Amino acid sequence: MMREAKKRIVVAMSGGVDSSVTAALLKEQGHEVIGMTMRIWNASSFAGKNGEGCGNCCSHDDVYDARRVAEGLGIPFSVVNFEEEFQRRVIDRFCDDYFSGRTPNPCVLCNQSLKFELLLRRARELEADLLATGHYARIERESQGFVLRKGLDPAKDQSYFLFTLTQDQMARIIFPLGNLSKDEVRSHAARFKLRVAEKAESQDICFVPDGDYVRFLEEECGAGRMDGEIVHVSGQVLGRHRGTYRYTIGQRKGLGLAWSEPLYVVGIDAANKRVLVGEKEHLAVREMRLSEVHWNPAPPLGEIRVACRIRYRHREVPATVAPVDACSAKVVFDQPQQGVTPGQAAVFYDGDRVVGGGWIA
């Protein structure tokens, strides 16, 4: 994975165990390591609204942890402020997606726009050879170019979030943890005596640390403007709702409807402020269209067979995918799938290799 010569490497440090071990391993290998933390979200703005702190990769505690780890390793450390870009590229799209009837995945956008565009650019300004992160994935060079592969630990593989990486980016990025398990990473953290060796992992969206995305949306964009009807697939109006953004495809709980069979959200018509519900069989989808498609390393000439993952924790399923034009594709599943959700990412695999992906339209 590592190049033979010693390199100057910027490590994206979040204050967690993964990025801390990444920095420690690279320093141990003799590289010139520079720690860098992105300030992407003003945690005090969240704390000011409900009295709690932000517990994810943007809090003051996390910046403090990253700085202390860097000091312990004896490497330079700095904080770069990307708050405006994060607001514009990630949070604004997050809100727009929900108010347009989609269910967004902001982690993919953050990786694409912040880590591997802006932070990589900052690393190059420092004349760094490479940018390293603590992702559980692998980049390998083959005859046709760079390829992205799953991390060896299937429980931690994060390749799903990285499908937008370009050839130019992969030439300048390394994932030192791609061949390790989480247990091995924690063992390294203990060996290096890192202060974050036992630090818990963050699971929530960093700017919605309490998981209450409805509260966040209403504070950002206001409440009441998306209230409307809950409609059965037959056309029968069954009730009212308090915002289309409160619902996602496949949702069953919280509908508050009396019906002879269990009902699920099968569609969201944001333009008409309607939530469409139906029986479970109405969730089955045989094909879907993707937008903003990325191919690795290049688009196929025609349709190809893939294993398709439609959510991060979704089991990959056999499918046929074909480019429609330069930025869209059509996917046909061998068997109809439930929970196909506009706004989520769909990623294509050939074995452990990522061959492409896009956004469910």
Same domain, 44 and 149: yes
Answer for the pair 277, 257: CB distance below 8 angstroms, yes or no: yes
Same domain flag for 71 and 25:
yes
Residues 174 and 309 in one domain: no
Report the CATH number that the domain containing residue 356 is assigned in CATH: 2.40.30.10
Q: Which residues touch 52 (CB under 8 Å, ≥6 apart)? A: 46, 209, 210
* Interval 177-196: pLDDT, tens: 999 999 999 999 999 999 99
Active site residues: 110, 206
**Among 142, 167, 191, residue at a domain's last position:** 191
Q: Structural domain tally of the chain?
A: 3
Identify whether 124 is part of a domain.
Answer: yes
Q: Are residues 56 and 112 in the same domain?
A: yes
Strand bridging mode 353-360 / 137-142: unpaired
The Cα angle at residue 311 between residues 258 and 250, in degrees rounded to 5:
10
What confidence category does residue 313 fall into, taking pLDDT thresholds of 50, 70 and 90?
confident
Q: Alpha-carbon distance 248 to 77, whole Å? A: 41
**Do residues 100 and 141 share a domain?**
yes
Residue 122's domain is classified under what CATH number? 3.40.50.620
Q: Please answer whether residues 37 and 77 qualify as being in contact, where contact means their C-beta atoms are separated by less than 8 angstroms.
A: yes
Banded pLDDT at 48 (limits 50, 70, 90)? very low
> In whole angstroms, what is the distance from residue 126 CA to residue 294 CA?
28
Please tell me whether residues 108 and 13 are part of one structural domain. Answer: yes
The kind and range of the H/E element at 50 are helix 43-50
How does the average pLDDT of the chain come out, rounded?
92
Final residue in a domain of this structure, among 266, 282, 298: 282
Evaluate if residue 55 carries a pLDDT over 80: no
**275 shares its domain with 296:** no
- 73 shares its domain with 186: yes
| 200 assigned to some structural domain | no
- Is the torsion defined by CA of 210, 214, 215, 218 positive or negative? positive
- Which has the higher per-residue pLDDT, 88 or 5? 88
For residue 217, being part of any structural domain is answered with no
pLDDT digits (tens, 9 = 90+) for 219-272: 888 888 899 999 999 999 999 999 999 999 999 998 989 899 999 999 999 999
Residue 106 in any domain: the answer is: yes
- The burial class, CB within 10 Å (0-12 / 13-18 / 19+), for 343 is buried
Angstrom distance (rounded) from CA 326 to CA 329:
8
**Is residue 1, in this structure, part of any structural domain at all?**
no
Are 181 and 267 within one domain?
A: no
Neighbours of 49 (CB within 10 A): 11
Tell me which residue range forms the domain holding 138: 8-191
Number of H helices, E strands in the chain: 10, 17
pLDDT of residue 181: 97
Domain-terminating residue out of 170, 191, 212: 191
Q: Are 237 and 332 in the same domain?
A: no
Q: Is residue 199 part of a domain?
A: no
Whether residue 276 sits in one domain with residue 143: no
- Contacts of 277-283 with C-beta under 8 Å, sequence gap 24+, read 277/230, 277/231, 277/232, 277/233, 277/238, 278/232, 278/233, 280/338, 282/233, 283/249, 283/250, 283/338, 283/339
Q: Is 202 part of any domain?
A: no
Beta-carbon-side half-sphere exposure of residue 249 (alpha carbons within 13 Å): 25
Q: What are phi and psi of 283, to 5 degrees?
A: -80, -20
Co-location of 263 and 291 in the same domain: no
